């Protein structure tokens, strides 16, 4: 929320970050349990300048109340719902109940609990933690205008060949040799803007995007696909998502380059380890940081 204040421009927002909630739904018709674990962050744009400059908190929604609202709304949701729909429900609550609140931003990170299978049978109430997290961010304005982004974080992928890096700028500080043979590893964070749709369609988009991203990174199972740089692979991955899902208007990808360094060890007398595309030193610090977003020219969103 922006204001002119004592001759300055002033912007402020307040909220509660990292509210952790788990919700279990016990099926009445069979014994299957469903559960989610969410980490919810709320940010409200509201007219409460008096609290900053006049010691007057009468326009403030307490962040403690925001936290309680997460649990109260989770309790009220008697039917299972997606993180997107829960975020919309929460954000709409804040903009409709409080006259001071003009915009609510709700972010949710969902922990990847997956039903376990024992001897090929889905377990009724047993879950294990998967890898990549599902994320969503919803912005709701008082007018009802809604912006929805969904995404994934922590999608760790690696391929042992079909990657290289050549033709980059060389100067007196450049030591990196050119190569057409290296390990390519990254942890993908993706977020995409999409039309708010009913839950099952949103869910399908998440799994579809993840599949499009992974398939493009790896290429076909036998021959793979050559990556001339993380940049090029990132662009192909973003394009695959936009080509596949017309409802998605833009996508942002972050793909750190997690280097696997060739190991060469020698003493004065002899070579102890000579690198032959076999022994690597895996690192994540420092890492290359490569990120980009791709969006359609024309979008109604």
Ligand X SMILES: O=c1[nH]c(=O)c2[nH]c(=O)[nH]c2[nH]1
Minimal distance, residue 125 CB to ligand X, in Å: 45
257 is in an annotated binding site: yes
Catalytic residue at 134? no
Using CB under 6 A as the binding rule, whether residue 192 contacts ligand X is answered as no
Minimal distance, residue 57 CB to ligand X, in Å: 49
Catalytic residue at 117? no
Burial degree of 243 (CB within 10 A; 0-12, 13-18, 19+): exposed
230 is in an annotated binding site: yes
CA gap 20, 39 in Å, rounded: 5
Nearer to ligand X, 52 or 226 (CB): 226
Nearer to ligand X, 122 or 228 (CB): 228
Minimal distance, residue 6 CB to ligand X, in Å: 46
Minimal distance, residue 194 CB to ligand X, in Å: 28
Binding footprint of ligand X, residue count (CB under 6 A): 7
Q: Mind spelling out the 3-state secondary structure of the chain? A: CEEEECCEEEECCEEEEEEEEEEEEECCCCCCEEEEEEEEEEEEEECCHHHHHCCCCCCCCCHHHHHHHHHHHHHHCCCCCCHHHHHHHHHHHHHHHCCCEEEEEEEEEECCEEEEEECCEEEEEEEEECCCEEEEEEEEECCCCEEEEEEEEEEEEEECCCECECCCCCCCCCCCCCECCCCEEEEEEEEEEECCCCHHHHHHHHHHHHHHHHHHHHCCCCCCCCECCHHHHHHHHHHHHHHHCCCEEEEEEECCECCEEECCEECCCCEEECCCCCCEEECCCCCECCEEEEECCCCCC
Using CB under 6 A as the binding rule, whether residue 257 contacts ligand X is answered as yes
> Among residues 67, 134, 159, 259, which one is catalytic?
259
Using CB under 6 A as the binding rule, whether residue 229 contacts ligand X is answered as yes
Catalytic residue at 63? yes
> Among residues 16, 67, 93, 107, which one is catalytic?
16
CA gap 156, 94 in Å, rounded: 36
One of 129, 169, 175, 176 touching ligand X (CB under 6 A): 176
Nearer to ligand X, 56 or 284 (CB): 284
Using CB under 6 A as the binding rule, whether residue 191 contacts ligand X is answered as no
Minimal distance, residue 183 CB to ligand X, in Å: 11
Nearer to ligand X, 41 or 257 (CB): 257
Using CB under 6 A as the binding rule, whether residue 165 contacts ligand X is answered as yes
One of 230, 240, 253, 258 touching ligand X (CB under 6 A): 230
63 is in an annotated binding site: yes
Using CB under 6 A as the binding rule, whether residue 288 contacts ligand X is answered as yes
Catalytic residue set: 16, 63, 259
Q: Where do contacts with ligand X occur on this chain (CB under 6 A)?
A: 165, 176, 229-231, 257, 288
Q: Binding site: what residues are annotated?
A: 63-64, 165, 182, 230-231, 257
């Amino acid at each position: 929320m922006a204001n002119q204040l004592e001759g300055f421009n002033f912007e402020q927002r307040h909220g509660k970050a990292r509210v952790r909630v788990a919700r279990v739904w016990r099926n009445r018709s069979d014994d299957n349990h469903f559960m989610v674990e969410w980490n919810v962050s709320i940010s409200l744009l509201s007219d409460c300048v008096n609290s900053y400059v006049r010691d007057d908190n009468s326009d403030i929604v307490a962040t403690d109340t925001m936290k309680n609202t997460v649990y109260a709304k989770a309790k009220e949701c008697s039917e299972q719902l997606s993180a997107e729909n829960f975020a919309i429900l929460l954000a709409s609550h804040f903009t409709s109940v409080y006259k001071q609140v003009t915009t609510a931003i709700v972010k949710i990170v969902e922990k990847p609990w997956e039903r376990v299978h024992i001897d090929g049978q889905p377990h009724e109430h047993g879950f294990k933690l998967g890898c990549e997290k599902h994320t969503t961010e919803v912005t709701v304005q008082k007018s009802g205008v809604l912006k929805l982004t969904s995404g994934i974080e922590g999608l760790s992928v690696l391929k042992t060949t079909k990657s290289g890096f050549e033709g980059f700028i060389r100067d007196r500080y450049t030591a990196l040799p050119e190569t057409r043979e290296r390990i390519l590893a990254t942890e993908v964070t993706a977020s995409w803007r999409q039309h708010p749709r009913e839950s099952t369609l949103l869910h399908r988009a998440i799994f579809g995007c993840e599949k499009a991203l992974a398939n493009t990174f790896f290429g076909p199972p036998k021959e793979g696909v050559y990556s001339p740089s993380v940049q090029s692979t990132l662009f192909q991955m973003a394009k695959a998502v936009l080509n596949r899902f017309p409802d998605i208007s833009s996508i942002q990808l972050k793909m750190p380059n997690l280097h696997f360094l060739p190991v060469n060890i020698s003493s004065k007398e002899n070579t102890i380890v000579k690198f032959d595309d076999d022994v690597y030193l895996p690192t994540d610090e420092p890492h290359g940081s490569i990120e980009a977003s791709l969006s359609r020219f024309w979008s109604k969103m």
